[in-house]
Structure 1
Amino acid sequence: VGGSPGHESPGPGDKKRVKRSHLPKQFVVGISYAARIPLRSVALALQGSDSDHAQDALRVLDIVLRQQQAKRGCLLVRQSFFSDDSRNLVDLTGGVSGCRGLHSSFRTTMNGLSLNMDVSTTMIVTPGPVVNFLLTNQNVRDVRDIDWPKAKRMLKNLRVKATHNNMEFKIIGLSDQPCSRQTFPMKVRSGSSEGQTVDITVEEYFKSKQVFLEKPYLPCLDVGKPKRPNYLPIELGNMISLQRYTKALSSQQRTTLVEKSRQKPQDRMRVVTDAVKSNRYDDDPIFSSCGIKIDSQLTRVEGRVLSAPMLVVGNSQDCVPFKGRWNYNNKKLFEPVRIERWAIVNFSARCDMSRISRELINCGRTKGIIIEGPYSLVDEDNQARRCAPIVRVERMFEKVKANLPGPPEFLLCVLPERKNCDIYGPWKKKNLHEMGIVTQCIVPSAKMNDQYFTNVLLKINAKLGGMNSKLALEHSRQIPVINKIPTIILGMDVSHGSPGRSDIPSIAAVVGSRCWPLISRYRASVRTQSPKVEMIDSLFKPLDNGKDDGIIRELLLDFYTTSQQRKPEQIIIFRDGVSESQFSQVLNLEVDQIIKAYQNMGQGPPPKITVIIAQKNHHTKLFQADAPDNVPAGTVVDKGIVHPKQYDFYMCAHAGPIVGHLKAHPLSCLA
């Protein structure tokens, strides 16, 4: 870089050049004994015995799996591995590719030790010239149109290979000047004398090494150290393959990834079985020494199919499910609201607001929702579209206030794009947090038909206090476990910032049922907490005056006031987003807070508590043995592949896509 393979281009602060030695060096590597992990503990765990070493032993076996793939040059991401085979890459545009790989991990099940294997996908930077990556990433055609501050943020910490010497480097930034003007001090020897230090441009240096730049007007990649820059002309850099892309995807990239990642069940099953055979696990010396042999065929298990629950909608009409789906066509909502004060605001340049208003009102009429004409249709000024998102929101809100005679019940907001829209967050914060105004955001679509507006109205009706439907069993009070005992149902989850954003607080949200014996009405409570922390720490929050300002007290008080002044004698908790290793933390940290919040509200016997943990981010897939289709909605598997001791089961609660796979959601009952 900056010259021959053995030299660097020093920065302005260096007094002299440092020549690297090409002599071999000796290194001393120390290997220390860590621990003895008895693999017999796995056998004990399979028999149902508690073993402190069972998870450690499984972790050792997983490491063997990872090591096997590392030797093949695969990218390792937790328990998944990815190769750079071009057949596994899916172009998502923007310099990003989806890379198909495989997940593999060992699990203890009722059937014994099992290898859990599944198709996995991660995002990587598309390999190739850095210049091409930037052009694609910023969607421009000419290098002169590249936004270099944005490029600097995008390139930081990525690795490149220099085309003139095949050396690999990590990018820490960009040069302030183009190659033709960026200088660095270089010591010039004159015979046997020390010589003198002169400033030389990067372009001149490479020309002296017979490397002629075609685009010297472009900046250099800084591949050195923070206080010792090392310049590589950007045109000489190639992105190294299998580098993870951790930033959020655009809506178009998400759509492309979903469309190109779909596989028919039989295709997915074939990929997994072929991978097991090609990996030749039985030839691994460590597995052989442990007496582990892996069957090349998928495990066969028995399941059962539960009937889909019936719903009751408006006029006490039954809503009969079909293949795990409920359709609201030609049906009124159970408790529709009336909307009188509302408006439409438009941030999109490709939107017919009059049509949206007309279609929404007509669709609402068929669902029983009486919607008056909107106060106003507010378009964003063309000049404002070039402003920052927060400025756009503030200007739009001022325009809304000027056009409306009073505060609206809700605002329908038309966004320019679906996912990761910069306006969405500031708009929601302004309306919900600062002004207390309910909003519903939509995106213009070619499929804005009756089904589209029905889905929008289902959200609007619920947000404004209406009820779309009830369970038929709930309507007829035929759920004894809930109807006989005052019961509150809690749903708990934590949302984290996008990958790579450790500065964004996590959001803890809890919903609690109200109006017992109903279970279809809920109140929500939200708190922020430390970034990337999964356990909720604000369920019980005692203040200095002894009062509780936590989430649970808020929900318990609401339950009490809407349920004939009765405290819940039973609490059913649905917890989402925690891994198996965090089950004990849910019991020790979160359930403990719930008990304290309950006790803080007064005397009385402690409630019965049931904790049900639902997991989605796993890799257990179910296939029909004798049919090419997905397993039917309502399929339950509660033996064979479940935990040998814990009470858990797999449920496919929804209908799968036409061509795709159906993921079973494991639910574990902890208490």
Structure 2
Amino acid sequence: MEGGLQFRSYDSLPLISALNLVIQQHAVRTGVRVGKNKYFFPTSSQGFNLSPGITAFQGFYASVRPTYNQLMVNVNACMTAFIEPGNLADALLAFSRNSRGAMPTLPQALMKKVRVTTHHLGYKRRYNIRNIATTTARNTTFSHSKYGKISVEEYFFKEYKIRLKHATDLPVIDTGTKRYVPAELCEIEPGQPFRGKLDETQTSQMIKVACNRPIVNAEAIVGDGFQKLGLHPSTSPSTGFDIQVSQKMTEIPGRQLPAPQLNYRAGNARVDNGGWNILDVKFHRGAQIPSWSVLVVRDGQNVFQGPDDLRLRGLVQGFAAKMRKSGMTLPQSPPSLLLVDLPPPNQDPSRILALNEIRRTFKEHIEKAQGRKPAFVLVLLSRRDNYIYPGIKRIGDVELGVHTVHMQLSKVVDKEPNKQDQYFSNVALKVNTKLGGINHKLDDVAMRWLRKNTTMMVGIDVTHRGPDSKQGTPSIAAVVASVDRDFVQYHASMRIQQTEKVEEMLGELAEIMVERLQAYQAKNKELPERVFVFRDGVSEGQYNDVLTVELPQILKAFQRFSTKDRKSPYRPQLSIIICGKRHHAKFFATDSKFADKNGNTKPGTVVDRGITDIFGFDFYLQAHAGIQGHAKATHYVVIYDETRFTADEIQQGTHDNSYLYARATRAVSLIPPAYYADLACERGRCYLNDFLVDDKSSTTGRSQGDKKAEEQRNYEAARKSWGRGVSLNRPRFKQLALNQSFL
């Protein structure tokens, strides 16, 4: 730990793992482990209700970390959702009410593997839910040696004299090998984390209860956290190993980097606490909009009576005025107004009919315009829906090649003029960038480090299917790269790949990097002399995989440009920087003069000593302001470096670039190339949204071979659905691919 170079290759993982076993011994006995090194104590903690059946509990993360000259325990407060104990039938009915009648298939991912107990046998018996069937107790039948073919309802009455209350309105539970139990006879055991994806309302509630100010988190960690984790002397089992943990937080040195100057068309914006106002500012370069259209999606909430509704006309006119005021050029004539009425969600839970209606409306509009597509379509949504939004993105991007920009009517209708104007400004940021405009730039001083030589900034990310996705759903990989000297315009390449084959590593990186270099060359008539790669989404244990799998592919892409007409092989300087957001290091200001009004450390705070790697080059940068809750820095780790910038240059340059994110008027927590790669992955998830929710009722009782065959079928279906995506090779999609359609 003293940093001796002879120990650089020493593998400390076995020792750290052993120490974690000791440190976490008390929490293992008294709490519920969720994920790696996170412990929750639902039986002795105050919960926060997110929705009927779902409760959030605060817990704590604890892990031993080696730092220069000492070992530390990284402790952090965290929050997760748990399934409320109680009757399973009541839980399913609550889900049905909250999901507007989306029964019975959608609880599948929520309840799978949940532990339940039954008492109808005369004793307590525990089951793990394998699946939730699509049939009720009345219409689910099976063969029985005593009764012959019989329904589940009849069986429980004849065998146990139990008359079911929900024989016709709730599905039965498959506990394995087609053993069906009515939900009303099952009791959910306490202490089980919720494995599904929180809906919009639940997520909103979770944010409210989890967003605590730094002082609240500090008190929770030092007080409740130390006690429950067993780090307090009175509860610590580690004293028997002669291990003592300090009861105080460690003070480490840090400093605040200055904000860069931001250039708009008519001058500079004034930065205050990491943000700035653009209400009366014109974009650096406004987009040209030859035509645009408006699609009003009426989904049970008819905010507008029809196309002549004065509020609708006023909203459209107000947004058009905002675009002009921001510097965009658009026709004086009003846009075409399209209205589409969707069938009720309880009649169309997967929204297939709804999306077909939207698709038909889109196509008819383009046909009436004789194939002349609008530059973009403004989509007005009455509510956010897990199917409608991604479905429209797929229709626009993949099927029709039309930009779509969405507005939530709840955020803009009947709002105060200043709030509506601010919302219009935020949407205008997206429109201008999508259509080739430039919102703002950094001044020459901030760009000096990147302009010493021609440079391309690259962001890479991979997103995987969730636990509620269809088996075999592929991973989505995205690579974005800059094409201009101001680093405000990025183009993207996306691929799908079989998760089991590549895990987190990107499988076709050489081909994708060739695409990105070709785009840079086409725009600048030359290739970059330096390439910075910002890799998001990999854990500490995968750093070496990036070097052994992805680095060779990047170098292979460079070789593709080493043609005979070049005087020397093409080999730009390359640096690879990992961007980590999934760490648990949180910073607390030691004095109010170092904190903002919420108690967070100020934007531009950088830490590169005290808790960083013993041998490596890494730093923590909090470029953004903590708007709500406790601000979290990004951990940047330089794992490969040929550019040889100093630590100060890399840190200040990364900080300055955090002000270039096109969709915001404030610095963001993650450098834009990595942020854009994440956005591109999320857009790819929209294209495969049908595969991200598994509506199959049962996979129980099938052989491993059958499951593998289904995985392969799902993958092939996803690959077919993905098609060629948004590609430069498809003429009608060329402009969409060139611009930042993923924003």
Q: TM class by shorter-chain length?
A: 0.7 to 0.9
For the pair 1:185 / 2:185, whether they are aligned, the reply is no
Q: 8 Å contact 2:62–2:75 — kept in the other structure?
A: yes
Give 3-state SS (helix, strand or coil) of 2:283's partner: coil
Question: 1:334-353, aligned counterparts within 5 Å?
Answer: 334-348=284-298, 349-352=301-304, 353=312
For the pair 1:362 / 2:321, whether they are aligned, the reply is yes
For the pair 1:663 / 2:632, whether they are aligned, the reply is yes
Q: What amino acid is the match of 2:323? A: G
1:577-623: CA deviation from partner (whole Å, max 9, x where unpaired): 11111111222222221111011111425211111211111111001
Q: What amino acid is the match of 1:362? A: A
1:481 match? 449
Counterpart CA distance in 2 for 1:601 and 1:99 is 54
Give 3-state SS (helix, strand or coil) of 1:139's partner: helix
Counterpart CA distance in 2 for 1:181 and 1:503 is 29
Q: What amino acid is the match of 1:589? A: V
For the pair 1:630 / 2:600, whether they are aligned, the reply is yes
Match of 1:321 among 271, 282, 288: 271
Q: Which runs of 5+ in 1 are unaligned?
A: 1-42, 188-195, 541-549
2:550 match? 590
For the pair 1:394 / 2:359, whether they are aligned, the reply is yes
Counterpart CA distance in 2 for 1:287 and 1:577 is 33
Q: 8 Å contact 1:179–1:218 — kept in the other structure?
A: no
1:134 match? 92
Q: 8 Å contact 2:67–2:614 — kept in the other structure?
A: yes
For the pair 1:454 / 2:425, whether they are aligned, the reply is yes
Counterpart CA distance in 2 for 1:198 and 1:568 is 73
For the pair 1:463 / 2:434, whether they are aligned, the reply is yes
1:433 match? 398
Match of 2:70 among 97, 109, 112: 112
Q: 8 Å contact 1:185–1:200 — kept in the other structure?
A: no
Quickly say closer, same or farther: Cα 1:499–1:100, change in 2 above 3 A. Answer: farther
Match of 1:233 among 182, 186, 195: 182
For the pair 1:246 / 2:195, whether they are aligned, the reply is yes
Quickly say closer, same or farther: Cα 1:479–1:129, change in 2 above 3 A. Answer: same
Quickly say closer, same or farther: Cα 1:483–1:108, change in 2 above 3 A. Answer: same
Q: 8 Å contact 1:46–1:108 — kept in the other structure?
A: no
1:424 match? 389
Q: 8 Å contact 1:45–1:108 — kept in the other structure?
A: no
Counterpart CA distance in 1 for 2:457 and 2:99 is 55
1:557 match? 518
C-alpha displacement of 1:81: 1.2
For the pair 1:84 / 2:33, whether they are aligned, the reply is no
Match of 2:477 among 499, 508, 514: 508
Give 3-state SS (helix, strand or coil) of 1:468's partner: coil
Quickly say closer, same or farther: Cα 1:605–1:446, change in 2 above 3 A. Answer: closer
2:538 match? 578
Counterpart CA distance in 1 for 2:229 and 2:39 is 12
1:530 match? 498
The structure in which a higher percent of residues are helix is: 2
Give 3-state SS (helix, strand or coil) of 1:424's partner: helix
1:275-311: CA deviation from partner (whole Å, max 9, x where unpaired): 1144333578873454321111111112111111121
Match of 1:618 among 562, 565, 583: 583
Give 3-state SS (helix, strand or coil) of 1:107's partner: strand
Quickly say closer, same or farther: Cα 1:53–1:200, change in 2 above 3 A. Answer: same
Match of 2:256 among 305, 312, 318: 305
Query: Could you say which structure has the larger radius of gyration?
Result: 1
Question: 1:6-155, aligned counterparts within 5 Å?
Answer: 49-85=7-43, 87-93=45-51, 95-110=53-68, 112-139=70-97, 147-151=103-107, 154-155=110-111
1:483-509: CA deviation from partner (whole Å, max 9, x where unpaired): 221111112212233343253322222
Q: What amino acid is the match of 2:591? A: D
Counterpart CA distance in 1 for 2:636 and 2:529 is 23
Q: 8 Å contact 2:142–2:151 — kept in the other structure?
A: yes
Give 3-state SS (helix, strand or coil) of 1:136's partner: helix
Counterpart CA distance in 1 for 2:168 and 2:282 is 65
Q: 8 Å contact 1:376–1:404 — kept in the other structure?
A: no
For the pair 1:640 / 2:610, whether they are aligned, the reply is yes
Q: What amino acid is the match of 2:386? A: C
Q: 8 Å contact 1:246–1:499 — kept in the other structure?
A: yes
Q: 8 Å contact 2:303–2:382 — kept in the other structure?
A: no
Give 3-state SS (helix, strand or coil) of 2:404's partner: strand
TM-score norm. by structure 2 comes to 0.74
1:493-531: CA deviation from partner (whole Å, max 9, x where unpaired): 122333432533222222212233x22222222222223
For the pair 1:654 / 2:654, whether they are aligned, the reply is no
Counterpart CA distance in 2 for 1:47 and 1:277 is 38
Kindly tell me the number of residue pairs found equivalent between the two proteins: 600
Match of 1:166 among 99, 124, 144: 124
C-alpha displacement of 1:51: 4.7
Match of 1:497 among 441, 465, 473: 465
Quickly say closer, same or farther: Cα 1:240–1:404, change in 2 above 3 A. Answer: farther
Quickly say closer, same or farther: Cα 1:511–1:76, change in 2 above 3 A. Answer: closer
Counterpart CA distance in 2 for 1:242 and 1:443 is 37
Quickly say closer, same or farther: Cα 1:63–1:573, change in 2 above 3 A. Answer: same
Give 3-state SS (helix, strand or coil) of 2:409's partner: coil
TM-score norm. by structure 1 comes to 0.82
Give 3-state SS (helix, strand or coil) of 1:269's partner: helix
Counterpart CA distance in 2 for 1:180 and 1:527 is 44
1:259 match? 208
Q: 8 Å contact 1:525–1:555 — kept in the other structure?
A: yes
1:359-412: CA deviation from partner (whole Å, max 9, x where unpaired): 211111221112334441111135597551542332232332255352111111
1:211-259: CA deviation from partner (whole Å, max 9, x where unpaired): 66555556674454315x2x43322212122323222222111111111
Q: What amino acid is the match of 2:489? A: R
For the pair 1:157 / 2:113, whether they are aligned, the reply is yes
Give 3-state SS (helix, strand or coil) of 1:254's partner: helix
1:127-157: CA deviation from partner (whole Å, max 9, x where unpaired): 2211211121111799xx7833445665443
Counterpart CA distance in 2 for 1:581 and 1:76 is 20
1:37-69: CA deviation from partner (whole Å, max 9, x where unpaired): xxxxxx577988235430122122223444432
Quickly say closer, same or farther: Cα 1:82–1:384, change in 2 above 3 A. Answer: closer
Give 3-state SS (helix, strand or coil) of 2:75's partner: strand
Question: 1:404-419, aligned counterparts within 5 Å?
Answer: 404-405=369-370, 406-418=372-384
Quickly say closer, same or farther: Cα 1:404–1:48, change in 2 above 3 A. Answer: farther
Counterpart CA distance in 2 for 1:271 and 1:48 is 40
1:11-50: CA deviation from partner (whole Å, max 9, x where unpaired): xxxxxxxxxxxxxxxxxxxxxxxxxxxxxxxx57798823
Give 3-state SS (helix, strand or coil) of 2:399's partner: helix
Q: 8 Å contact 1:110–1:644 — kept in the other structure?
A: yes
Counterpart CA distance in 2 for 1:197 and 1:499 is 38
Give 3-state SS (helix, strand or coil) of 1:465's partner: coil
Counterpart CA distance in 2 for 1:560 and 1:150 is 48
Q: Which runs of 5+ in 2 are unaligned?
A: 305-311, 414-419, 563-567, 593-597, 641-743
1:75-115: CA deviation from partner (whole Å, max 9, x where unpaired): 33222111223744222215333232111111111252111
1:297-345: CA deviation from partner (whole Å, max 9, x where unpaired): 1111121111111210112x10121101122121000000121211011
C-alpha displacement of 1:470: 0.3
Counterpart CA distance in 1 for 2:538 and 2:142 is 53
Q: 8 Å contact 2:24–2:230 — kept in the other structure?
A: no
Counterpart CA distance in 2 for 1:279 and 1:383 is 51
